[in-house]
Chains A and B, each alone.
Chain A
Amino acid sequence: MTGIRKMEDMTSSDYEAIGLRSGLEIHQQLDTEKKLFCRCPVLPYSQSFDAEILRHMRPTLSELGEYDGTALMEFKTKKEIIYKINKDTVCTYEMDDTPPFELNLQALDIALEITMLLNCKLISELHIQRKQYLDGSIPAGFQRTTILGVDGWIPYGDRRIGIIQLGLEEDACREVSDTGHDRVYLTDRLGIPLIETVTAPEMVTPYEVAEVAVILSNLARASGKVRRGIGAARQDVNVSVRGGQRVEIKGVSRIPTIPLLVHNEAFRQVMLLSIKSELKKRGITDSSFESSSFNITETLADTQYEPAADALSNGLELHAVVLRGYRGILSTVTQSGQTFASEISDRIRVIACLDRLPNITHSDSGGESFSDSEWERIKKSTGAFENDSVVVVWGTGQDIQTAVSEISIRAREAIDGVCNETRQSFPDGTNGFERILPGPNRMYPDTDLPPLAISVDHMDRISSALPERPWERKERYIAAGVPEESARQMSISMLRDLFDRAVKETPYASGVLMHFFLSTLSHLKKRGIAPDLSDDVLILSLAEAGRKSLTIDAVAHILENTRGSEFKDISLVADEIHMPEMKTLGKAVEQILSGIESSEIEQDILKRIIFGRIRQRFNGLINGKEVSELVHSMVLQERNT
């Protein structure tokens, strides 16, 4: 069997060898005043609530007459869903007691703009659909969603990453807790407009996935109309390896965590595939798969194994599932600190709601478990052979029945290798089962809202005011002579439009302004100069300084003396600033030189020291180029004499 490798030991060609493919689904909240399908305001999240509502969810048929696998799985869990409601952020719509109002047109325009920025082909007529979620994250049991565009692209290095589609949908509830059969949600986030951008699975190393996530996040911000802050953007990462299946890792809120998640999932699939080939070698197929279950509560009434003894003392039953020919499979490592048994344990935790861990033990587990003699008794009473694996689970009532059947289902799925699953990410970079990956069968047309045609005029109105894409902006800056890294920074900076205005309205060169905006300005702000500086005052100060041929550093003086206020005459202040004459500067250099034991110092360092002191003495009000030439010639002169 192949083993798991560390991320730092992997090269691009190693990932190519396992056939890693990864794509992203990026969820980004839009910055609108109101929610998507009702007129509730979008307010900051809050833990406080005024009432609670209880709901149960039932699966329904899709438009094409099928049940969705995820829906059936969630139904097995029989959850009591409780919604905490704050009257300021939730109305009867979110609670599914009132039909939807018209789609929020502000949200539509923002989403259309981003669709165009992603070079997508636009959909002519929007059809609102219901995407089923039986986990309760949306009280209606479905999310209203529609796609606005398909088949777009973004540049990545020297290639393009495809955008499969962009959708506009309502955000879901925030989960508070999920224990046993109770799941609790806060509802303030529910209904906030959200765009979902889906990339093609064209990233082939874990690092590429994170880099593309950054590009997409920057692009969304380019519109300036998306929400920022914790939870405003969330990524789902799709991962597969050759021979594996698409697995979706849900709700990754920090981009830097992506690479390790992708790497670990890739190797989890590699390991599941090695289990697959092992089972094949043993001749176990879908049709020959055999499992049987037994109530062994009596057999183990006196067990010393603590979790089982606890379970018995709490009145739970012990059941054993014999997996014919599976010996050793459950102890195969799948992720750091996890074995195939964890996959089974996860399923039971989620589907049978047996969430007190450990919830199973098995005959191949080397660690803490039943004693050897207890295992002998179990094997004897269940008729298990040497080559079988036995899983023991504890629970009660319907839950234990569900658990027993899920153990068999998950073990059998190992024959096919990797399951289509949605998995949750853990802080250590590993992941765990969340639900079966939903398919197209969970889509259903929304009969409450008619189709919405997007007129050509509407599209033109959006496209004529389209902001520049970050990568286009970056190229423009580079062409204007700005270093690449600064160009990159400015292309995604909040100051980018102000910078462009400064280039147009002041005589300074792009490179000089770039340094001023990316570095000087934040220094000034840190020093508390002109805290409420308006864009107009800044531009005017720059323009005045430029008009008088002052160095750009003079702007600091202007701002200091006007306190950034529009009430003081910027022009007058600028007039009072005088750049030192060359004669004065020459004397100053002379003075400094005479005060230093300069022969000991290396020439370049000496020049820097002198330049720095001159700068300090004249409060930065010097022409850098002239002064550095002056210092250069005077130092040379000094050395030569």
Chain B
Amino acid sequence: MYKGYRGKSLACLKNFKVGVWSDVEVESTRGSFTGTILPRSETADEFHIVLKLHNGYNVGLAVDTIESITELGRTEAHYKIPEKEFPFDPDKKNVKLFGTGGTIASRLDYRTGAVIPAFSPGELYGSVPELADICNLKTEKLFGVFSENMGPEQWKGTAEAIGKEIATGTDGIVIGHGTDTMHHTAAILSFMVQDSPVPIVMVGSQRSSDRPSSDAAINLINATYTAAKSDIAEVMVCMFGPTSDQYCLLHRGTRVRKMHSSYRSTFRTIGDIPLAMVEKDRFVLLKDDYRKRRNDRKVRINTSFDDRVTIVYYYPNMKPDIIESLIDNDYKGIIIAGTGLGHVNKPLYPVIKKAFDKGVHIYMTVQTLWGYVQMFVYDTGRDMMDLGVIPAANMLPEVAYVKLCWALGQSHDREEVRNIMMTPIAGEITEREPHNGYLIFQGGIPEVEDFIKRYKR
């Protein structure tokens, strides 16, 4: 009845015996207004009442200026995506969509003024009817959390749900996920779910589906198509490819990273090229070294996890007490994101030695993201290895982080952990970096500008 109102504004509503969704006429020292009282965001101040005028505009009226409010009736908003039963076609593949949160489908949350997810096959069919041309879709909401709140518990739950779903015979799995930590989840699922016979496709949207220019529909259509039809039986991320609404890219779960805070085309494969492009009803394969789809149901689920691991992002002048406090707090694994080829400064050496002696597993990755750790080139690197730091090749820092959690969940034996860490399971370490794996075009350079202009989009 008073959603979001507090203090003065709440008192004002109570005084005039009106509440949220009341159709009212307000007399104020700034004129009279007719409209519907809307819920107020909890983070907004207590001095205004929000009214939706009949022309659709919202205005905030200062409580101080209000002389009277008269209720004329009530209009409750029923925000509902038109729900239609998802059609079943025996000739089509069966796809399961797991929901974890995020903005694939969403609606407005009056409490916070932000968008919250809405999700069911009927709702999805109502808003993206194209899905019915692709597959028979079933959905299951695993969690309703924002991307930043995904953690070990949700990762394990998702992996187990995938295992069960594969056992029941699905042709492909789509996982709706918030974009912020999608690459963390993609990485851990690549380790927890092994030898999947079917595609496991993660998808989200950078622009929420409450806006006409949202990338949600195109991403979801392409992800579903991939789950139903693709021959690639791996954990992948299917997200917006170029700047324009054209195609999505399929990224390998262990090589993908969110690279821009807001762009649609934020996901990039790092240190390699994407697996494929997917557009409407076709794939363009870019690589052929992927695991193929199979008819068996033999999937291995291993949800081991020890969360006493951290990433230390090195910067010049980092003090030993940072590592000291990790030792004191019983951390068992440290992923260092070092400078250049994998370096930290000398004053850290003693504390790294101390950590090693206390049994902490320390791996080196690069904060440049692109390229391999190479600790033989400089003395500092060699010194570090003498201290027990293990170079983690071209594993991305976040990938090394979740993999070390997973490895420590299985063993604390130094050699065994090292063996798990350094044996590539899902492309997290590659033997070679293709020459076109690293391409960040520098805007402004004539040939780049020419390329952009000629290829448009």
Of B65, B77, B209, B449, the residue contacting A63 (CB under 8 A) is B77
- Kindly list chain B residues whose C-beta atoms are within 8 Å of the C-beta of A56: 218, 245
The 8 A CB mask of B43-60 against A (1 = contact, 0 = none) is: 111011010111111111
A124's contact among B44, B62, B108, B214, by CB below 8 Å, is which? B62
Q: Is residue B80 within 8 Å, beta carbon to beta carbon, of the partner chain?
A: yes
What is the chain A residue whose CB lies nearest that of B449?
A50
| A109-158 contacts to B (CB < 8 Å) | 121-127, 129-134, 139-142, 145-147, 150-151
B441 within 8 A of A: no
Would you call B107 an interface residue if the criterion is a C-beta within 8 Å of the partner chain's C-beta atoms?
yes
B262 at the interface (CB under 8 A from A): yes
> Contacts A52-B457, A61-B81: A439 and B56 contacting too (C-beta < 8 A)?
yes
B435 within 8 A of A: no
Q: Are B244 and A54 in contact (CB under 8 A)?
A: yes
Return chain A residues, CB-CB under 8 Å to B260.
97
Does A441 sit within 8 A of B, measured CB to CB? yes
Of the candidates A92, A97, A130, A440, which one forms a contact with B211 in the assembled complex, judged by CB atoms under 8 Å apart?
A130
B107, A61: Cβ atoms closer than 8 Å: yes
CB distance from B38 to the nearest CB of A (A): 8
| Minimal Cβ-Cβ distance residue in A for B57 | A147
* B456 lies within 8 A of A51 (CB): yes
Compute how far the CA of A23 lies from the CA of B448 in the bound complex, rounded to whole angstroms.
Answer: 51
In the complex, the answer to whether A51 meets B262 with C-beta atoms within 8 Å is no
Contact yes or no, A125 B62, CB < 8 A: yes
Indicate which residue in A52, A98, A126 contacts B456 across the interface (CB closer than 8 Å).
Answer: A52
A453 in contact with B245 (CB, 8 Å): no
With A97-B264, A150-B31 already in contact, the answer to whether A129 and B211 are too (CB < 8 A) is no
Q: Which residue of B lies closest to A147 (CB)?
A: B57
Question: Total interface residues on A, using CB and 8 Å?
Answer: 59
Q: How far is the CA of A131 from the CA of B452 in the complex (A)?
A: 31
Contacting pair A443 B243 (CB below 8 A): no
Q: Is B149 an interface residue (CB 8 A)?
A: no
Q: Is B421 an interface residue (CB 8 A)?
A: no
**B453 in the interface (beta carbon within 8 A):** yes
Within 8 A of A (CB), among B192-242: 207-214, 217-218
Question: How many whole Å from B208's CB to the nearest CB in chain A?
Answer: 8
Chain B residues, Cβ within 8 Å of A62: 56
Tell me how far the C-beta of B105 lies from the nearest C-beta in chain A, rounded to whole angstroms. Answer: 10
Residue of A nearest to B30 (CB): A121
Q: Which residues of B contact A96 (CB under 8 A)?
A: 207, 211, 213
Closest approach, in angstroms, between the C-beta of B77 and any C-beta of chain A?
A: 4
Docked complex Cα distance between A326 and B45 (Å): 60
Q: Which of A259-267, A426-434, A444-452 contacts B (4 or more CB under 8 A)?
A: A444-452
Question: Is B60 touching A127 in the complex (CB atoms < 8 A)?
Answer: yes
Chain B residues lying within 8 Å of A377, measured Cβ to Cβ, are none
Q: A51-B456, A450-B43, A450-B113 are in contact. Are A445 and B58 (CB under 8 A)?
A: yes
Answer whether residue B139 sits at the interface, using C-beta atoms and an 8 A cutoff: no
In the complex, what's the smallest C-beta–C-beta distance from B238 to chain A, in angstroms? 18
Which chain B residues lie closer than 8 Å to A124 at the CB level? 30, 48, 59-62, 65
Say whether A270 faces chain B, with CB atoms less than 8 Å apart. Answer: no
Which chain B residues (245-275) contact chain A, with CB distance < 8 Å? 245-246, 260, 262-264
Q: Report chain B residues within 8 Å CB of A450.
A: 41, 43-44, 113
Q: Say whether A367 faces chain B, with CB atoms less than 8 Å apart.
A: no
Which A residues touch B30, using CB under 8 A?
121-124
User: B349 an interface residue at 8 Å Cβ cutoff?
Assistant: no
Number of interface residues of B (CB under 8 A): 59
Please, how many angstroms separate the alpha-carbon atoms of A151 and B82 in the complex? 37
Closest to B33 in A: A150
A311 CB contacts on chain B under 8 angstroms: none
Interface flag for A60 (CB, 8 Å): yes
Are the C-beta atoms of B457 and A127 separated by less than 8 Å?
A: no
User: For A58, what are the chain B residues with a Cβ–Cβ distance below 8 Å?
Assistant: 127, 212, 214, 217
Q: Are B45 and A97 in contact (CB under 8 A)?
A: no
Q: Check B56 against A443 for contact (C-beta < 8 Å).
A: yes
- In the complex, chain A residues whose CB is within 8 Å of the CB of B80: 61, 65
B78 in the interface, Cβ–Cβ < 8 Å? Answer: yes
B212 pairs with A57, CB closer than 8 A: yes
Kindly identify which residue among A64, A125, A141 contacts B212, using a CB–CB cutoff of 8 Å: A141
The reply to whether the CB of B132 lies closer than 8 angstroms to some CB of chain A is no
Contact A442 B113 (CB under 8 A): no
Residues of B contacting A126 in the complex (Cβ-Cβ under 8 angstroms):
59-60
Given contacts A130-B211, A141-B211, contact A447 B113 (CB under 8 A): yes
Contact A51 B43, CB 8 Å, known A60-B211, A97-B264, A122-B30 = no
CA distance A129 to B50 in the complex (A): 13
Within the assembled complex, what's the spacing in Å between the Cα atoms of A125 and B453?
A: 43
Contact indicator B108/A447 (Cβ below 8 Å): yes
Pick the contact of A54: B53, B58, B107, B457 (CB < 8 A).
Answer: B457
Q: Which of A55, A57, A63, A133 contacts B79 (CB 8 A)?
A: A63
Say yes or no: B108 contacts A147, CB within 8 Å: no
- Asked whether A92 and B61 contact (CB < 8 A) given A54-B457, A58-B217, A451-B48, the answer is no
- By a CB distance below 8 angstroms, the chain A residues around B263 are 92, 97-98
Are the C-beta atoms of A125 and B48 separated by less than 8 Å? Answer: yes
CB of B180, distance to nearest CB on chain A (Å): 14
Contacts of A95 in B (CB 8 A): 243
A58–B264 CA distance with the chains assembled, in angstroms? 16
Residue of B nearest to A123 (CB): B59
Bound form: Cα–Cα A121–B52 in Å = 16
Contacts of A129 in B (CB 8 A): 56-58
A140 pairs with B57, CB closer than 8 A: no
Collect the chain B residues with CB atoms within 8 Å of residue A127's CB.
50, 57-60
* Cα-based distance from A171 to B10 in the complex (angstroms): 37
Closest chain B residue to A146, Cβ basis: B57
In the complex, A71 has a CB within 8 A of chain B: yes
If A51-B456, A147-B57 touch, whether A97 touches B214 (CB-CB below 8 Å) is no
Q: Is the CB–CB distance between A97 and B243 below 8 Å? A: yes
- Alpha-carbon distance between A145 and B57 when the two chains are bound, in angstroms: 9
Q: Is B377 located at the chain interface by the 8 A CB criterion?
A: no
Q: Is the CB of B31 within 8 A of A151?
A: yes
A55 to B213, Cβ gap below 8 A? yes
A97 (CB) vs chain B CBs: closest residue: B263
Of B115, B208, B212, B243, the residue contacting A59 (CB under 8 A) is: B212
- A-side contacts of B209, CB under 8 Å: 60
A141 CA to B82 CA in the complex, in Å?
Answer: 20
A98 in contact with B262 (CB, 8 Å): yes
Chain B residues in 8 Å Cβ range of A533: none
A54 and B246 contacting across the interface, CB-CB below 8 Å: yes
Contacts of B31 in A (CB 8 A): 121, 150-151
A441 and B457 form a contact (CB under 8 A): no
Write out the residue numbers on chain A whose beta carbons fall within 8 Å of the beta carbon of B56: 62, 129, 131, 439-443
A132 touches B456 (CB 8 A): no
Query: Does the CB pair B245–A125 fall under 8 Å?
Result: no
Chain A nearest CB from B103 CB (Å) reads 11
**A467 beta carbon closer than 8 Å to chain B:** no
What 1/0 mask marks residues of chain A from 60 to 96 whose CB sits below 8 Å from any chain B CB? 1111110100010000000000000000000010011
Q: Is the CB of B60 within 8 A of A54?
A: no
Report A-chain residues with C-beta under 8 Å of the C-beta of B1: none
- A542 to B: closest C-beta gap in Å: 44
- Asked if B114 is at the interface (CB within 8 A of a chain A CB), the reply is yes
Q: Which of B33, B57, B78, B108 has the most CB of A within 10 A?
A: B57
B243 touches A440 (CB 8 A): no
11 more contacts with CB within 8 A, not counting A97-B260, A125-B59, A443-B57, are A51-B452, A53-B244, A58-B212, A64-B75, A64-B77, A64-B79, A65-B79, A439-B56, A440-B55, A443-B58, A451-B50
Give the top 5 A-B pairs by smallest Cβ distance, nearest first.
Answer: A125-B60, A141-B212, A121-B31, A440-B56, A443-B56
> Can you identify 19 A-B contacts, CB atoms within 8 angstroms?
A53-B243, A54-B246, A60-B214, A61-B107, A63-B77, A65-B80, A97-B262, A99-B262, A121-B30, A123-B30, A124-B60, A125-B48, A127-B57, A131-B56, A142-B212, A145-B57, A151-B32, A450-B41, A451-B48
Please list the residues of chain A having a beta carbon within 8 angstroms of any beta carbon in chain B. Answer: 50-65, 67, 71, 92, 95-99, 121-127, 129-134, 139-142, 145-147, 150-151, 165, 167, 439-445, 447, 450-451, 453
